[in-house]
Amino acid sequence: MSQAQAPQSASLFADPAARAAALRAELARLDHAYYVLDAPLVSDADYDTLFRELQALEAAHPELRTPDSPTQRVGGAPLPQFAPVRHAVPMLSIQTETDTTPQGAAAFDQRVRNKLALSADDPPVTYNAELKFDGLAINLRYEHGTLVQAATRGDGETGEDVTQNVRTIRSVPLQLHTTHPPAVLEVRGEVLMKRADFERYNERQRAKGLPTLVNPRNGAAGSIRQLDPTIAAQRPLAFYAYGWGEIVGWVHQPDTYHAMLDALAAMGLPVAEQRVHGPGAQTLIDFHGRIATERDSLPFDIDGVVYKVDSLALQAELGFRNREPVWAVAHKYPAQERSTRVLAIDIQVGRTGKLTPVAKLEPVFVGGVTVTNATLHNEDEVRRKDVRVGDAVIVRRAGDVIPEVVSVLLDQRPANAGQPFDLDKQLGGHCPVCGSAIVREEGEADWRCTGGLFCAAQRKQAILHYASRRAMDIEGLGEKLVDQLVDGGIVNVLPDLYRLGLLKLAALDRMADKSATNLLDALQASKSTTLPRFIYALGIRQVGEATAKELARHFGSLDTLMDASLEQLQAVSDVGPVVARSIRTFFDQPHNREVVEQLRACGVHWDESAPVEAAAPKPLAGKTFVLTGALPTMSREEAKERIEAAGGKVAGSVSKKTDYVVAGAEAGSKLAKAQELGIAVLGQEGLMTLLDHDGAADQGA
Ligand code: IVH
């Protein structure tokens, strides 16, 4: 960090006005570095020292207090109402391309080319692609370089004067960084709240027992429309420029859109770095695709992307239609969040006995699929979000991960909504499938059924896992069939699979002789397997495919593995204390040893002298992770072990070298730092997805 550049001692300045001006300029420079460039120049303490000196100076000499002083960002007196502002140039909106496929971008290009009467032989049109920010549109009016007014869009013709509130946004320059400012420059853009700031704000509100914001968009819009500017000042907002209104006297004004944004950035205005310009529809399609993958790791929510013709001359030629520019279009992504209602909170039993609360929802179309169930992770999560039967909730589906309930719309809670969630009480202390006692161990997030393989739900999951492609690969042994086999008492333990006969199988529902024969063949074929597959198939908690391979390679025989001590287990690369304990616990159960013996007696065999093929390339090799906050169902130690087992590294602090930050509840400054640096942020599900690429993370359910 360099030093603040304002002269160190006020006494050097006999002239308080000159000192105040120097402090204002220096604080503006530091604000820009911190809030726009994300590159702080001095410590917070140094900044505060300068800030307080200016405050003291202004208190002693009120005539020195200028509207562009950084001290004026904190908000003045409440307003009775907002004054109307008539826009010099109307604030219009843009057309939305509803086709969310790449075709949407091609359609826009075609419309532009048609309107310009270009034939297929003519060269491509140059376009800009940028983000469609999900906030509130604002017009900033600078006169001779000074911010004089900020207004909302309103009906497009007349907005509201929100200058006091917009001043509190630290990334909005109160003074343009140029020696030759245009006489008038209106900058248009979006005010929004970054996700990390939103989370932090809500965290603080919760701690104080005060109301929280529903989402960042409402947070931004609500803050700007606060009559009391001290409230806006407490809510961390950001601004990104994407256009302009009235311009008077700009010498050498650029003639393309991208150069205009570059010029605005040079004047100190925040312009998002995610933008490109280039020829033809392909530029747009590429950007749309790229942002689709980056979307979840952006520091703020977006509503899609926006395409604009780059040449301002062509923009003028294309003009407007129905009060919308022909030269611009918004291109959306399939919605990822929707609201719906909770019909019930069910509790599912996973393979390892984990009890997961699941919201049964009124069906809702989210992100391209109809969702009827969403995970609530665990009891603490349900309580933290206070989800109750009957509630209206926001459901989110990101990528391929399991849909989840994001939040409850508390103001829509019906009078007859259910009671606060209590898993133990709801289940009366017993597993809903087998009636065994349920337990929640100290320090664990999950309740578990203690029934083990006595529990039909766990048995079913264990059988499905055993039969899965990467385990014993028993084709035809699917969910419906396993349900029948277990519910009919035909298969109670894994070895029972090898005792199935044609008669019994063919008697089952929807089971033709042919499929019964095929299944028996598949079962027969599965008996000849490999040691790594067999270890993996046993379904030991924490032992994924990669770990199974390492164990097979290290111990060479199942008997040696079954008798290995904790220390011996930990000598295997990638096996830490958590995994070692889990393996030991598994083989310490007499019934598990019994199952292994019976499977061998049924003819399951492998060649222990066969070399174990090298483990698949580690999917996370070379990737650095930082863990922060509490994950719903994994301890930090566990997450670390699994990342390391997949070849990744876990570091303690976030830096440019971090590839992923895995954030759970109550994530703090590390999450904020990640979002500032634009580092991908994952939740537990996202981490599982990454790990799952080598089958190493199958132990969640
Ligand atoms: S251009 C004349 N660019 O979306 C064109 N708008 O319906 C004016 N928005 O009210 C808009 N990101 O609030 C433009 N990169 C972007 C945008 C953007 C968000 C908002 C804006 C506007 C609405 C358009």
Looking at ligand 1, which atom is closest to the CA of residue 306? 15
Instruction: Write out the E strands in 193-253.
Output: 238-248
555 and 637 co-located in one domain: no
Mutate to test the pocket of ligand 1, among 133, 139, 191 (most ligand atoms within 8 A of CB): 133
Residue 607 within a domain: no
Q: Which residues contact 444 (CB under 8 A, 6 or more apart)?
A: none
161 and 259 co-located in one domain: yes
Q: Which residues contact 211 (CB under 8 A, 6 or more apart)?
A: 205
Which run of H or E residues covers position 211? none
Domain count, the chain: 5
Distance of CA 503 to the CA centre of its chain: 51
C-alpha 83 to ligand 1 mean position (Å) = 23
Nearest residue (CA) to ligand 1, atom 13: 137
Helices 456-467 and 479-487 cross at an angle (nearest 10°) of 140
Residue 700 within a domain: no
129 and 149 co-located in one domain: yes
Residue 508 within a domain: yes
DSSP label of 614: P
The pLDDT value given to residue 694:
39
| Gap between the Cα atoms of 372 and 171, Å rounded | 42
| Gap between the Cα atoms of 365 and 539, Å rounded | 34
C-alpha 512 to ligand 1 mean position (Å) = 60
The pLDDT value given to residue 401:
55
Residue 49 within a domain: yes
Instruction: Write out the E strands in 208-333.
Output: 238-248, 275-279, 302-309, 320-321, 324-325, 328-331
Bridge partners of 190, per DSSP, are: 137, 240
Q: What angle do CA 120, 122, 127 make, to 5 degrees?
A: 100
Nearest residue (CA) to ligand 1, atom 10: 93
User: Are the CB atoms for 301 and 217 separated by under 8 Å?
Assistant: yes
Residue 619 within a domain: no
| Residue where a domain terminates, one of 332, 364, 384 | 332
C-alpha 155 to ligand 1 mean position (Å) = 14
| Gap between the Cα atoms of 82 and 225, Å rounded | 8
* Residues spanned by the domain of 551: 456-601
The pLDDT value given to residue 111:
94
Q: Which residues contact 567 (CB under 8 A, 6 or more apart)?
A: none
Instruction: Name the residues annotated as catalytic.
Output: 132
DSSP label of 180: S
Residue 589 within a domain: yes
Nearest residue (CA) to ligand 1, atom 3: 242
647: helix, strand or coil: coil
User: Are the CB atoms for 419 and 411 separated by under 8 Å?
Assistant: no
The pLDDT value given to residue 3:
52
245 and 113 co-located in one domain: yes
User: Are the CB atoms for 235 and 75 separated by under 8 Å?
Assistant: no
For the stretch 663-699, pLDDT in tens is 877 777 888 888 777 777 777 877 887 776 533 333 3
27 and 164 co-located in one domain: no
367: helix, strand or coil: coil
Nearest residue (CA) to ligand 1, atom 23: 93
Q: Which amino acid is at 210?
A: L
Other C-beta atoms lying within 10 Å of the C-beta of residue 44? 10
The pLDDT value given to residue 365:
79
C-alpha 264 to ligand 1 mean position (Å) = 17
Mutate to test the pocket of ligand 1, among 94, 138, 224 (most ligand atoms within 8 A of CB): 94
Which run of H or E residues covers position 393? strand 392-396
User: Are the CB atoms for 551 and 701 separated by under 8 Å?
Assistant: no
C-alpha 307 to ligand 1 mean position (Å) = 10
473 and 595 co-located in one domain: yes
| Gap between the Cα atoms of 240 and 535, Å rounded | 54
Residue 482: CATH number of its domain: 1.10.150.20
Nearest residue (CA) to ligand 1, atom 12: 132
> 366: closest CA among 332, 406, 339?
339
Residue 651: CATH number of its domain: 3.40.50.10190
> 531: closest CA among 513, 501, 551?
551
Rg (CA), the chain: 31
Give alpha helix (H) positions in 131-188.
Answer: 163-167
176 and 306 co-located in one domain: yes
* pTM of the predicted protein model: 0.54
Tokens representing 32 are 């820009």
Tokens representing 448 are 């578990």
The pLDDT value given to residue 633:
75
Residue 38: CATH number of its domain: 1.10.287.610
Residue 37 within a domain: yes
The pLDDT value given to residue 174:
95
Largest interatomic CA distance in the chain: 105
Within 6 Å (CB) of ligand 1, which residues are found? 92-94, 130-133, 137, 153, 190, 242-243, 306, 325, 328
**Ranges of the chain with pLDDT below 50:** 1-2, 7, 10, 399-400, 694-701
203 and 310 co-located in one domain: yes
Q: What's phi and psi for 164, nearest 5 deg?
A: -55, -45
589 and 482 co-located in one domain: yes
> 94: closest CA among 318, 366, 367?
318
Mutate to test the pocket of ligand 1, among 89, 153, 190 (most ligand atoms within 8 A of CB): 190
Looking at ligand 1, which atom is closest to the CA of residue 153? 10
Q: What's phi and psi for 387, nearest 5 deg?
A: -85, 130
C-alpha 599 to ligand 1 mean position (Å) = 65
299 and 345 co-located in one domain: no
346 and 318 co-located in one domain: no
3-state helix, strand, coil in the chain (%, to 5): 40, 20, 40
The pLDDT value given to residue 460:
92
Nearest residue (CA) to ligand 1, atom 17: 132
CA 176 to each of CA 23, 29, 54, 142, 313: distance values in angstroms, whole numbers, following the listed order: 16, 11, 20, 8, 26
618: helix, strand or coil: coil
The pLDDT value given to residue 699:
36
**CA dihedral defined by 649, 654, 655, 658, rounded to 10 degrees?**
40
Bridge partners of 324, per DSSP, are: 321
Classify residue 193 as left (phi > 0), alpha (psi -120 to 50) or beta: beta
Residue 382: CATH number of its domain: 2.40.50.140
Nearest residue (CA) to ligand 1, atom 22: 93
| Residue where a domain terminates, one of 332, 360, 393 | 332
The pLDDT value given to residue 290:
93
DSSP label of 695: T
Residue 612 within a domain: no
569 and 673 co-located in one domain: no
| Residue where a domain terminates, one of 569, 601, 633 | 601
